[in-house]
């Protein structure tokens, strides 16, 4: 595996775009330079958008079959380059290659690409009577701007780019400056197959020029699909207002898990752990607060801690690492701050002390309540607060008290009872005896300040279209 990647280029109209400067990307596992990414500005953005705009009419006119074939070809090409992409992700994101790490992320990207290829939105006849015919068409929007975060750089880019292409749009893709390398390579790979201009890339350091903001207000971008934090998503919405952009906003959450008194602590321990600690907790729909009934509170904590104690944390390239480092210093500091405050009121059951560099061990803290910042703030890292409750109505009220609502879970031996509780949770997805397992055929999105719009499945595809009705 290479230690440092030379600059991966931007692509506009199928051609590599050179920038005057580039920025360093750090490997969070070693602190070393992982590679360099182009530091683009307004000119490069305009060039990418112009290329996408010019390519749009011909692509929008292609048949469903052609677009499906192109998406399948992209899936095959990602699969053929799976190991290269996985290694890039590990290098810049830090997650392990194995387990639920980089190779798994690429597997997910391929599965989503294929499923998206198979979707379609045919014209629908709404009425066909003596009074006339009414047909509803789904039409592509134009240029879609994709803005992605640093936690699943390739999979989330695929979630944005593939449905945009499948429905006849063209794309400008912007990765997070924390993890640009694998996503830029993904766009290079797509350009080996697709007509010029369909997928273009821009990347920029966090600096005076804000590429995401420039995209969100760009005259020639019709839609922004954004995955990231609530605060940034709100800025996207503000910047997009003037040009009346279509938006899909997949933002932060603070998912609650509620363990009912009839759950089996031993049986659910592994699911609870992975629900909370997948990708080191740096997952939008990870379980970020755990409410456990008093009757089984201690047994659940014991079983969870026993499972978590065996999890090896280490550099992503080491075969025995199960979890990697926290991806960046700001996120690491946030986790450290929230844990330090939680330790003042709660009991540390596991972890609780920062490790070397950006490594932070899985941390479980019990004895916390609604007033603790680790409970009401999204930690987005490997620290889980456990809250004891006696009345399920109270647990539900606490779970629903926050202004975000991405996912949630209910843990019980009685599925029907769990479903009744699930339906009262204020969030976009609820899992019974699991947490965070998304799949390409199930629409996924947040309620309240977690955003709006959904991704995946037919409902997700519709978000890349406008409706046109023809009366004849
Ligand atoms: P972030 O909001 O800091 O950054 C996301 C992206 O927005 C990056 O590409 C960034 O460069 C860009 N950006 C920065 N300023 C911008 C602006 N003014 N306008 C437009 N774009 C701008 O988020 P992050 O730290 O990369 O990711 C972590 C957050 O993302 C967490 O809150 C997490 O819950 C959320 N997330 C949500 C989902 C979901 O599907 N709902 C998935 C993954 C992550």
pLDDT in tens, the chain (472 residues): 677 777 788 999 999 999 999 999 999 999 999 999 999 999 999 999 999 999 999 999 999 999 999 999 999 999 999 999 999 999 999 999 999 999 999 999 999 999 999 999 999 999 999 999 999 999 999 999 999 999 999 999 999 999 999 999 999 999 999 999 999 999 999 999 999 999 999 999 999 899 999 999 999 999 999 999 999 999 999 999 999 999 999 999 999 999 999 999 999 999 999 999 999 999 999 999 999 999 999 999 999 999 999 999 999 999 999 999 999 999 999 999 999 999 999 999 999 999 999 999 999 999 999 999 999 999 999 999 999 999 999 999 999 999 999 999 999 999 999 999 999 999 999 999 999 999 999 999 999 999 999 999 999 999 999 999 999 9
Report the pLDDT value the prediction gives residue 5, as an integer from 0 to 100: 73
Distance from the alpha carbon of residue 248 to the mean position of ligand 1, in angstroms: 13
Tell me if domain 10-251+450-471 and domain 255-440 are identical in fold.
no
Mutation choice for ligand 1 from 28, 148, 149, 184, CB with most ligand atoms inside 8 A? 149
Question: 44, 92, 250, 426: which one is catalytic?
Answer: 250
Distance 230 CA to ligand 1 centre (A): 8
What residues pair up with 35 in beta bridges, in sequence order? 5, 25
pLDDT of residue 1: 65
Name the residue ranges covered by the structural domains of the chain. 10-251+450-471, 255-440
Fold of 10-251+450-471: Aldehyde Dehydrogenase; Chain A, domain 1 (3.40.605)
Is residue 445 lining ligand 1, measured as CB closer than 6 Å? no
CB neighbour burial string for 121-160, b if at least 16 within 10 angstroms, e if fewer: beeeeeeeeeeeeeeeebebbbbbbbbbbbbbbbbbbbbb
pLDDT for res 7: 75
CA atoms in the 13 A half-sphere facing the CB of 401: 14
What CATH number does the domain located at 255-440 have?
A: 3.40.309.10
Q: End-to-end alpha-carbon separation of the chain, Å?
A: 61
Decide if 172 contacts 201 (C-beta within 8 A): yes
Please tell me if the CB atom of residue 177 comes closer than 6 angstroms to any atom of ligand 1: yes
Q: Whose CA is nearest to atom 14 of ligand 1?
A: 212
Q: Say how many Å lie between the CA of residue 349 and the centre of ligand 1.
A: 31
CB 385 within 8 A of CB 374: yes
250 in catalytic set:
yes
State phi, psi for 154 to the nearest 5 degrees: -85, -45
Number of Cβ atoms within 10 Å of the Cβ of 235: 16
- Ligand 1 pocket mutation pick from 180, 228, 243 by most atoms within 8 angstroms of CB: 228
148 lines ligand 1 (CB under 6 A): yes
Residues listed for the chain:
472
């Amino acid at each position: 595996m290479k230690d440092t990647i030379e600059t991966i280029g931007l692509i506009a109209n199928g051609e590599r775009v050179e920038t005057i400067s580039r920025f360093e990307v750090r490997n969070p596992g070693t602190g070393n330079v992982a590679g360099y990414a182009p530091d683009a500005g307004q000119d490069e953005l305009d060039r990418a958008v112009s290329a996408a705009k010019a390519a749009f009419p011909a692509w929008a006119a292609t048949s469903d079959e052609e677009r499906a074939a192109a998406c399948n070809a992209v899936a095959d090409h990602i699969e053929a380059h799976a190991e290269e992409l996985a290694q890039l992700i590990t290098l810049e994101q830090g997650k392990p290659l194995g387990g639920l790490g980089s190779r798994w992320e690429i597997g997910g990207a391929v599965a989503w690409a294929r499923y998206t290829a198979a979707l379609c939105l045919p014209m629908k006849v709404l009425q066909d009577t003596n009074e006339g015919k009414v047909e509803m068409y789904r039409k592509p929007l134009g240029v879609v701007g994709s803005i992605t975060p640093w936690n699943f750089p390739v999979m989330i880019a695929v979630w944005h780019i593939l449905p945009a292409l499948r429905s006849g749009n063209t794309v400008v893709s912007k990765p997070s400056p924390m993890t640009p390398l694998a996503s830029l390579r993904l766009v290079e790979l797509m350009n080996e197959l697709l007509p010029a201009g369909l997928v273009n890339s821009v990347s920029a350091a966090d600096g005076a020029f804000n590429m995401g903001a420039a995209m969100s207000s760009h005259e020639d971008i019709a839609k922004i699909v954004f995955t990231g934090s609530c605060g940034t998503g709100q800025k996207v919405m503000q910047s997009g207002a003037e040009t009346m952009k279509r938006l899909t906003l997949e933002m932060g959450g603070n998912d609650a898990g509620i363990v009912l008194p009839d759950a089996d602590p031993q049986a659910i321990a592994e699911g609870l752990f992975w629900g909370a600690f997948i990708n080191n907790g740096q997952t939008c729909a990870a379980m970020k607060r755990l409410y456990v009934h008093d009757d089984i509170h201690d047994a659940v904590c014991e079983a969870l801690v026993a499972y978590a104690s065996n999890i090896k944390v280490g550099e992503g390239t080491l075969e025995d690492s199960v979890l990697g480092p926290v991806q960046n210093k700001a996120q690491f500091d946030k986790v450290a701050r929230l844990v330090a405050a939680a330790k003042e009121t709660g009991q540390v059951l596991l972890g609780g002390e920062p490790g070397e560099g950006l490594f932070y061990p899985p941390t479980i803290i019990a004895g916390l309540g609604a007033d603790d910042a680790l409970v009401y703030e999204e930690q987005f890292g490997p620290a889980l607060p456990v809250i004891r409750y006696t009345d399920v109505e109270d647990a539900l009220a606490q779970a629903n008290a926050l202004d975000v609502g991405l996912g949630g879970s209910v843990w019980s031996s009685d599925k029907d009872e769990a479903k009744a509780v699930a339906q009262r949770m204020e969030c976009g997805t609820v899992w019974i005896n699991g947490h965070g397992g998304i799949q390409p055929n199930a629409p996924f999105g947040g309620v309240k300040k977690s955003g709006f719009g959904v991704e995946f499945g037919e409902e997700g595809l519709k978000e890349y279209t406008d409706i046109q009705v023809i009366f004849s």
